[in-house]
Amino acid sequence: MRPLLAASGIAALAVLAVLPAAAPAAADAPAGFTIEDPRVKESSGLAASRAHPGVYWTHNDSGDGPYAYAVDGRTGRTVARVTLDGVEARDVEAISVGPDGNVYLGDIGDNLGGTWPDVRIYRFPEPKELKGEITLTPTRYTVRYEDGPRDAESMMVHPVTGRLYIVSKKKSGKGALYEAPEKLSSSDVNTFRRVADINIWATDGAFSPDGTRLVVRGYFDAREYRWEDGRPEEIGRPTVPLQRQGESVTFTPDGRALMYGSEGANSRVTPVALSGELLPDSAAKENKNPGRGGAGEQAAGGDGGDGNHTLVLGAGALAVLAVLALCVRWLFRRRPDGT
């Protein structure tokens, strides 16, 4: 076995010698956090608070109730839970904060394959104080799509115009971006109009704080779009962390990073810094120091540091296994007399 161990050790050292060092944490990305509230078992949406820096809004998938949880991004603890009075939740899938100071909760899921004739969006003011249990009566908007019912998990409010958008979820083919009427009605049906194709099995989406970028994520990947004149233009693929069940995404308040969430108890919210063309216009203009991109370059175009580092590590591991297999084969070939 000594020749085998020696050969294996040499092979492993040779492979490790060519592997890059672990990528450092991105300078522009905030720390991630774990949602500690045991009531949040299926976090399905995520939105950064406008009124309370460092706080993120989330909610459960179907099976919970008309609740929105305000989570402290520094500790992962729930600082307040909002109950929407008079609401019977069906399949809450998305949350977004508008420029009007309101939180929008999207009861837009349809796991039955697009059989609900309409879905609902609820609007409530972001509380001035976040503490304990809060009960509010929301404004309800009834929503239909111009081309018929469909399943969706992504709803975004544009931070400048206040207009709402939904991205449909589709297993095969293309999903689509739907635009709300310029002004929503709480008394009539609001018909959302299809305005663009979105080529991803979307589980959540978000606008950058300045409104110049739109990100849409799936379970394992994401697309980012330049937003101009009310329409998206795809510009790249941000890095997506490996998660149990990738469900949610939002921009940090400064727009320099994405925060990715997952379903499951004690789920982790993971930051990924942005750079290059993926960086929103306002953040790019403020980025006068050329060194600020740093490790954030890994997110540009979706082909940066973490992604390549993972691929190289995987290739290295396969190489080690291949060399070990050859060593075992060599060892048994040289033992015809059983010695």
Domain ranges of the chain: 1-27+296-339, 28-292
Which whole number is the average pLDDT over 151-158? Answer: 96
- Check pLDDT > 60 for residue 269: yes
User: Could you give the percent of the chain with pLDDT greater than 70?
Assistant: 75
Which whole number is the average pLDDT over 258-271? Answer: 95
pLDDT of residue 218: 93
- CB-based contacts of 43, cutoff 8 Å, min separation 6: 35, 58, 59, 60, 247, 248, 261, 262, 263, 264, 267
pLDDT of residue 170: 76
pLDDT in tens, 281-336: 999 998 765 554 443 333 333 333 333 333 333 444 444 334 344 433 433 344 44
pLDDT of residue 288: 62
| CA–CA distances in Å: residue 144 to residues 44, 79, 182 | 22, 34, 15
- Check pLDDT > 60 for residue 338: no
pLDDT in tens, 117-133: 999 999 999 999 999 99
Q: Among 1.10.10.10, 3.30.160.100, 2.120.10.30, 3.90.1150.10, name the CATH number for the domain at 28-292.
A: 2.120.10.30
pLDDT-wise least confident of 40-54, 143-157, 159-173, 232-246: 159-173
Q: CA-CA distance, 59 to 64, in Å (whole number)?
A: 9
The DSSP code for 149 is -
Residue 274 burial (CB count, 10 A): 32
pLDDT of residue 322: 45
Q: Which helix (H) or strand (E) holds 9?
A: helix 2-18
Q: Which residue has the higher pLDDT, 318 or 268?
A: 268
At 291, give phi and psi (nearest 5°).
-85, -5
- CB-based contacts of 307, cutoff 8 Å, min separation 6: 239, 298
- Check pLDDT > 90 for residue 19: no
Q: CA-CA distance, 52 to 57, in Å (whole number)?
A: 10
* Tokens read off for 57: 């809004």
Q: Which residue has the higher pLDDT, 295 or 205?
A: 205
Angle between helices 2-18 and 305-333 (to 10 degrees): 160
Q: CA-CA distance, 137 to 202, in Å (whole number)?
A: 30
**DSSP-assigned states of every residue in 295-318:** GGGGGGGG-SHHHHHHHHHHHHHH
pLDDT of residue 112: 76
Q: Which residue has the higher pLDDT, 276 or 18?
A: 276
Give the pTM.
0.78
